Amino acid sequence: MKKNSLLLLLSILLLPFNLQASTKLDSSILDSIKAILPNIENNQKIKTQGCSFQKQKWLTALLTQESFTETLKFKKDCDLEGQYTVKVNDFFPINLKIQKHKHIKRIITNLKLEIIFTESAQLQIKMKDAILKSNKDISFDMTYKIEIDPMAASPLRKHKGGEVFLKQVGTKKINKSFPINLKTM
């Protein structure tokens, strides 16, 4: 559905965003969350452009709800490794190793994507019980919506926004929500 299918499914993980908070967070925490998202103001990003995503299967899954399994391996321009089975309208586990990053070693989450219909079709992406594994694990939930036109050549139309609920960093409980504002794709 998008040039890089995993980026569509995991857009809340792999697209740029800006966290706005009323409380200051340690810059390494924000850097760790931002690192999983390309094209943002962070000095160490996770490379995904070399990953072998099954683009057509992502589109098929969204349109037909047909599950499939994808395997990623470390290689040039792919800092992710792991296997997951994509499901639509149901949470599915993702557990990916991350290489060449100063803070993050792994991301573990339960991901759900569904197409919902309001005044327009929207892709709703939810992450539940997500953990960025590092020296201070970061625990959070995310929700994000994107207006889509599945029949268009460029199906992602308009970012509707979402939020990150930051639960815990290391042993410190945070329990605060932060809006997600994605840049234009």
Residue bearing the bigger pLDDT, 18 or 131? 131
**Does residue 154 lie in a domain region?**
yes
Confidence (pLDDT) at 165: 92
pLDDT class of 118 with cuts at 50, 70, 90: confident
**Does residue 22 lie in a domain region?**
yes
Mean pLDDT of the chain: 78
Confidence (pLDDT) at 60: 85
**Does residue 45 lie in a domain region?**
yes
Whole-structure pTM value: 0.76
pLDDT class of 95 with cuts at 50, 70, 90: very high
Q: Is the pLDDT of residue 136 over 90?
A: no
**Does residue 185 lie in a domain region?**
no
How many domains, in total, are found in the chain?
1
Q: What is the 3-state secondary structure (H, E, C) of the chain?
A: CCCCHHHHHCHHHHCCCCCCCCCCCCHHHHHHHHHCCCCCCCCCCCCCCCCCCCHHHHHHHHHHCCCEEEEECCECCECEEEEEEECCCCCEEEEEEECCCCCCCEEEEEEEEEEEECCCEEEEEEEEEEEEECCCCEEEEEEEEEEECCCCCCCEEEEEEEEEEEEEECCEEEEEEEEECCCCC
The arithmetic mean of pLDDT across residues 30-44, rounded, is 49
Confidence (pLDDT) at 74: 96
Q: Is the pLDDT of residue 158 over 50?
A: yes
Q: Give me the domain span that covers residue 128.
A: 5-180
Task: Tell me the pLDDT tens digit for each residue of 45-93.
Answer: 788 888 898 888 888 888 899 999 999 999 999 999 999 999 999 999 9
